[in-house]
Structure 1
Amino acid sequence: MDDRNAAALSAGMPLYAAWLVAMAATLGALFIGEVLGQMPCVLCWYQRIAMFPLALILGIACLQGDSAVRTYALPLSITGGAIALWHSGLYFGLVPQRVAPCVKDGPSCTDAAMTIAGLPIPILSLVAFAAITLALALMKGSRT
């Protein structure tokens, strides 16, 4: 592998990492909802709205070698991360329950069932969005 190919590969590694995290989070959310039958709360739905397109957008960017993906992927990952941070605050009682957006008919944003394998789902989401944001921020210039 020559120096140019090695540089292109190293520039794309953060992009591939971001895509793998987005795919894992998307598949995890689908598994929790469709296989385990756990209904998502309102804040989980908003986080899904940010995460699901990231899996597709970042996957296409990987195929195209498009580092310009940062322009439209960073706003999604930062927004999703902000919602996950708020959700985590609700879950751990740092944000008062009276400002929780969940309705009486749906699952609670702070329910004890908001865990998977003993880990709080809001924290898993926050870690995923933070990892994607960091990977996108670490991307180098466009690849050719």
Structure 2
Amino acid sequence: MPKISHLIAWTIALISVIGSLYFSEIKQFEPCNLCWYQRIFMYPIVILLGLSIIKKEPNIDKYVLSLSIPGFFLALYQVILQNTSILEPCKIGKSCSDTYINLFGFISIPMLSLISFFVITISLLNSNKVRSQ
């Protein structure tokens, strides 16, 4: 039976991938450079965790964490970029500080990405903690 933490992380990653494709392909929101980089980190997580669940491979965590942690920091950087004037916005292509959606006054696409990477990372770190006890 696959670990629940892997199922949670895979589900979050899959929803994130489907959401990013929905925003860019159906809603026609043009992704900025930072959004593309976050996709580069998120998309393989779906494949890696999916294969680990199918093959019942428990030792995938360090590989997925090597994608989710940098993805988290990229998303955090973009959230800071969108919400403060501390950092200079991107000048190449689509601006990374643009906001397409703003739910409840603070939930933007980069915030959704940040939450996704955070939940994936915490799920896998918790998985390691449970296994070592």
Task: Identify which of 118, 121, 133 aligns with 1:133.
Answer: 121
Q: Which residue of 2 aligns with 1:109?
A: 96
Shift in Å, 1:138: 1.2
For the residues of structure 1 that align with 2:97 and 2:45, how far apart are their CA atoms? 25
Given that residues 54 and 73 in structure 1 are in contact (C-alpha distance below 8 angstroms), is that contact kept between their aligned partners in structure 2?
A: yes
Larger radius of gyration: 1
Please give the TM-score of this superposition, normalised by the length of structure 1.
Answer: 0.82
Alpha-carbon contact 2:52-2:58 (below 8 Å) kept: yes
Report if the CA contact (8 A) 1:67-1:141 is conserved: no
Paired with 1:56 and 1:135, the residues of 2 have a C-alpha distance of: 17
Distance 2:122 2:47 in 1: 18
5+ residue gaps, structure 2: none
The letter for the 1-side match of 2:45 is: L
Equivalent residues, number: 128
RMSD: 1.9
Q: Partner residue of 1:71?
A: 62
Aligned amino acid, residue 81 of structure 1: F
What stretches of structure 1 of length at least 5 have no aligned partner? 1-7
Identical amino acids, percent of aligned pairs: 33
Q: How does 1:87-126 map to 2 (within 5 A)?
A: 87-93=78-84, 95-97=86-88, 100-103=89-92, 106-113=93-100, 115=101, 119-126=107-114
Shift in alpha-carbon separation, 1:27–1:116, aligned structure 2, 3 A = farther
For residue 41 of structure 1, the aligned residue among 24, 28, 32 is: 32
State the SS of the aligned residue for 1:135: helix
Deviates more, 1:57-66 or 1:72-81: 57-66
1:13 to 4, 7, 15: 4
How far residue 101 of structure 1 moved from its aligned partner, in angstroms, is 3.3
CA contact (8 A) 1:41 1:102 kept: no
Shift in alpha-carbon separation, 1:61–1:92, aligned structure 2, 3 A? same
What TM-score do the two structures reach when normalised by structure 2?
Answer: 0.88
